[in-house]
Amino acid sequence: MAKVPDLNIPASASTVDVSILNTTGTIRGLSPTLFFGPKIEGHDYIAAPCYSFLIQHPVSKRTLVFDLGIRKDLGNLPKATLEQFDAIGVTITAPKDVREILDEQGVDTKNIEAVIWSHSHFDHTGDPSRFEPTTALIVGPGTPKAVFPGYPANPNAAFILESDHTGREVKELDFSNSNLKIGKFSAIDYFGDGSFYFLDTPGHCIGHICGLARVTSNPESFILMGGDGVHHDGELRPSHWHPLPDSISPHPFNPETPGPCPGELFHKVLREGKEEPIYIAAEGPTHEDVPLTRQTIKGLQEFDAHDNIFVVPAHDQFLLSVVDFFPKPANNFLEKDWVKKSRWLFLADFAKAVGHKGKVETVGDYTPVPKN
């Protein structure tokens, strides 16, 4: 395995407390080829959860929420968005919204400093109007120009509503004045103490950003809030730092089985060998800038190379069986070995392609066939 890259994360003893929220929102029926390729037999659709993050600064008592998932009142989404769902046969559910989930567990939601959009797509923007007018909205560079005003002020608006941003402070991040670079990405130290950074991760959408939270200081560990930096772990792995192993454990088809899975089984789905990711970001309108998207993914691979950085894409269904979700904390992911436990679980998507005849274990109602 190649030596892990130096990301030049500034040293700090300051940390934040992070919990990962499974927002209850789900998207089923999207074709993987909209987001990444090449097409692989049996991986015919995406059934995805939507994650967000509660970030609490223990010293200053300041609280942020990174991403809001899908709004509960789906029928109030812009007309153009609803028509697009119908046209491509996507099934979307959102039994709860993020504020509801936080309130149920006694979080002081009235004093949340800001909600953050990793980007302006509907499965991340949620419903900011559910938060107090004093709660700011933090967005990536270029977002207001690209998507404001929302629907119905702009009847052709996609994804967002005018009520998502009116009546509250909108903070547009400006990375052009930042002298800080973490890995390949320009960064902003939000609290000024090295506990939480915004990363400029463009490509998929105008203004796409990630969050990097330092959750322990000795030893150091970090959670990377990935948004839609990638849509599948197969865009990150294998890599130079994590080549496809000869023996894979836990077993992707049944993580509870005591025996490992032979890596050789997956050679037939490799795109360019054991040290290159299986998937690459797809051409087409799903990504605002395809070359830039691919460049960002290469940068995220450098974070994924580190065992003390937990990379959490917003829709990674294979984390459902590994992570302790809110209200439990995620700061202890290192001692619970979540990175190594989850690293190769995505290979379960290739069961049919590799000729697996047995049962593939699933989590909850994320079944291996679309629901009609």
Six-digit token string for 81:
């968005």
Provide the H-helix boundaries in 242-307.
290-304
Q: How far, rounded to the nearest angstrom, does the alpha carbon of residue 347 sit from its chain's CA centroid? A: 18
Q: What pLDDT does 363 receive?
A: 56
Among left, alpha and beta (phi > 0; psi -120 to 50; other), residue 182 is beta
CA dihedral sign of residues 37, 39, 40, 43: positive
Cα separation, 96 vs 69, whole angstroms: 10
Residue 181 lies in a domain: yes
Among left, alpha and beta (phi > 0; psi -120 to 50; other), residue 175 is alpha
What is the pTM assigned to this prediction?
Answer: 0.96
Helix (H) or strand (E) holding 220: strand 220-225
**14-52: pLDDT as tens digits:** 999 999 999 999 998 889 999 999 999 999 988 899 999
User: Number of structural domains, the chain?
Assistant: 1
143-161 average pLDDT score: 92
Q: Which domain holds residue 41?
A: 17-350
Residue 259 lies in a domain: yes
Residue 369 lies in a domain: no
- When pLDDT is cut at 50, 70 and 90, the band that residue 360 belongs to is confident
At residue 6, what is the residue type?
Answer: D
Residue 206 lies in a domain: yes
- Whichever domain contains 93, its CATH number is 3.60.15.10
Residue 338 lies in a domain: yes
Residue 8 lies in a domain: no
Between 364 and 178, name the one with better pLDDT.
178
Six-digit token string for 42:
């049996």
At residue 12, what is the residue type?
Answer: S
Residue 197 lies in a domain: yes
Residue 365 lies in a domain: no
154-174 average pLDDT score: 94
- When pLDDT is cut at 50, 70 and 90, the band that residue 359 belongs to is confident
Give, as one character, the DSSP assignment of residue 204: S
- Please answer whether residues 24 and 96 qualify as being in contact, where contact means their C-beta atoms are separated by less than 8 angstroms: yes
**240-288: pLDDT as tens digits:** 999 999 999 999 999 888 889 999 999 999 999 999 999 999 999 999 9
